[in-house]
Amino acid sequence: MRTMSLQDILFTQGFGTRRVCAGLIQQGFVSVAQHTPTDPAMEFVVQGLRFTVRGVAWEYHALAYLMLHKPAGTECSRKPSTWPSIYTLLPSPLRLRPQKGAVQGVQAVGRLDQDTTGLLLLTDDGKFIHRMSSPRHHVVKVYEVATRHPLDDKQVSKLLDGVVLEDDPKPVRASACDAVAPHHLRLTLTEGKYHQVKRMVAAVGNRVEALHRSQIGGLVLPGDLAPGRWRWLGEDDLALIAG
C-alpha cells in the first residue's frame, strides 16, 4: 500500500508549504490515531488516513471531489467582481491544495450565476472537469425554475421542441420539461450555454424569477445540505454523476 511522509501528506492536502507542514508537525499541532508524531519524515499509509491539524479533523484524499450547495449572492470566481466568492465557503486546505498548473485548490465544475442557487461540483481533477464540461458527454442537469408568469402547455411544448437563441441558429431543446405548479418549471438540460435557462424561458415569452439546480446526472442535492455548506463525494456519488 502506498505510504508517504507526514510532511508530504499535509502538503498534498493543502496545509501549507512543505516547510510550514514540517513546522506544524514538529510543534505538535498534528495528531494521527491519537498520537502526536514530531518527525516530519515519519511514513504513513495514505489510504483512509485520518488525522487532525490544530484540532481540525481531516481525511487524506488523493484527489478532491465535493459538492457545494451554492447560496444566492455568490460568484463562481476566485476574483469576484461584486459578490463574495464561493471559495470563501470552503476551508483553507481545499483552496490551497497544490497542483501542477498555476491555479491552486479545487475548481468549480462549470459556473452558476450569482443569483442562481443549488448543486455545484468542485474538484482538483482536471480530467473530471474536462469530461463533465464536454458537450459530447451530455451530462444531465435539472433546474427548478420560478417563473414570473403562469406556465401553460404551449410554453412547455416549445421548450421540448426547441427554441432558437440569439447566438446560435440551431434550436436548443430541453430533454425534459414539466410544469410542476403554475409558476414552477422543472427543466432538464444536457448541454450548457451562457444563461441558457433564462434565455430559453425568455424565448417562450416568460421570465425567470429564481433558478435552482437540483441535480447533476443521477446525483441529487441532499435536502439536509444547507445553503453555503459542502461535503465530500464518495465513489457512489461519482458513479451517479457518471451515469
Domains detected in the chain: 3-59 (3.10.290.10), 65-135+219-242 (3.30.70.580), 140-216 (3.30.70.1560)
**Per-residue pLDDT band at 100 (split at 50, 70, 90):** low
Do residues 156 and 179 make contact, with C-beta atoms less than 8 angstroms apart? yes
> With pLDDT > 90 as the criterion, what percentage of the chain qualifies?
83
Rounded distance, CA 40 to CA 9, Å? 10
Q: What is the pLDDT of residues 39-58, one digit of tens each?
A: 999 999 999 999 999 999 99
The mean pLDDT value of the chain amounts to 94
Nine cell digits for residue 36? 502526536
**Per-residue pLDDT band at 184 (split at 50, 70, 90):** very high
**Per-residue pLDDT band at 133 (split at 50, 70, 90):** confident
Identity of the amino acid at 31: S
Do residues 119 and 69 make contact, with C-beta atoms less than 8 angstroms apart? yes
- What angle do the packed helices 196-203 and 153-161 form, to 10 degrees? 120
Q: Look at residue 79 and tell me whether its pLDDT is greater than 60.
A: yes
Identity of the amino acid at 90: L
Residue with cell 461519482: 238
Catalytic residues: 113
Q: Is the dihedral of CA 243, 94, 74, 83 positive or negative?
A: negative
